[in-house]
Amino acid sequence: MTQTDTDHVLLDLADGVATITLNRPDRRNAMSTAMIERLGELLEQAESDPAVRVVVLTGAGRAFCAGGDVQQFDEDGGEGGGASEVDEEAVAAQIRHQEATVGRIHAYAKPVIASLPGAAAGAGLGLALAADLRIGTPRTVIATAFATVALSGDFGVAWLLDRLVGPAHARELMLLNPRLDAQACSDLGLLTQVVPEDELEAATAQLARRLADGPALALAHIRSNLREVPTQSLTEAMRTEVRRHKETGLTADHVEAARAFVEKRPPVFGR
């Protein structure tokens, strides 16, 4: 097992699973600029590493990620640092940060699981929503949080919510900022699983193992098919699907799966 870390973002790789941990529990893993930049670097590193088959994103302590550091906003005189005009360089930097984190997760070549030990709010909610699957506990809550601090929102939260829960629920969550508990999140489809707090790590590992042991190219193509649906007609989607389907039909994983089916045994992928 290898491990790489900075003070506030950790990367651990074991048996094909890369676990990235936001590690600022004293601030509920609120993200500083340095954390966002490091997270982007580690996401890129994990995606390009052939040893990584699945990524888990989680938070240290009792929260997933509280989003932006509101305490720092207060110290700086607001997110804009007290300026009277929008700083175009800051806009460009923020776009880069969002594309390197939420954008990268959404377009990732490998499955991504968000494991939520507690609250996910603001930009932290964006990270969680960009993942393929989300697993939480009865302590898990989500909130958009932006309107509460007189901000309109970033990190793709509005877009992702619209995709995941539909425009009506997205408007409610963005405008009114209700705190959704784990049951409400599950009812809306925002949590794939809810497990007891002391079982979160094991349940996340089990889910990650299932994906890591799966057929890598097939899972990547499934993600691509789903990601492109909103911009395609049915005819376009089927044309795209069939080429990817044929590509997966050429893989050793497909041959192994067919043989395992005939032999009535579990397939072993990635050999």
Identify the active-site residue in 8, 69, 106, 154: 154
Instruction: Answer yes or no: are the C-beta atoms of 11 and 2 closer than 8 Å.
Output: no
Angle at which helix 252-263 crosses helix 216-228, to 10 degrees, equals: 110
Q: How far is CA 36 from CA 20, 112, 268, in A?
A: 12, 17, 37
Identify the active-site residue in 97, 106, 221, 254: 97
| Residue 47 scores a pLDDT above 60 | yes
| Residue 4 scores a pLDDT above 50 | no
Angle at which helix 33-48 crosses helix 88-98, to 10 degrees, equals: 40
Determine the pLDDT at residue 78: 61
- DSSP SS3 for 260: helix
CA dihedral 7, 9, 14, 17 (to 10 degrees): 180
| Residue 130 scores a pLDDT above 50 | yes
Sorting pLDDT into bands at 50, 70 and 90, what band is 75?
A: low
Determine the pLDDT at residue 118: 97
CA distance 147 to 252: 50
Q: How far is CA 75 from CA 72, 123, 145, in A?
A: 5, 19, 19
Q: Confirm whether 154 is a catalytic residue.
A: yes
Determine the pLDDT at residue 1: 43
pLDDT tens profile 201-232: 999 999 999 999 999 999 999 999 999 998 99
Q: Confirm whether 245 is a catalytic residue.
A: no
Where along the chain do its domains lie? 2-212, 216-263
pLDDT tens profile 76-99: 666 666 667 888 888 899 999 999
Identify the CATH homologous superfamily for domain 2-212.
2-enoyl-CoA Hydratase; Chain A, domain 1 (3.90.226.10)
CA distance 171 to 77: 29
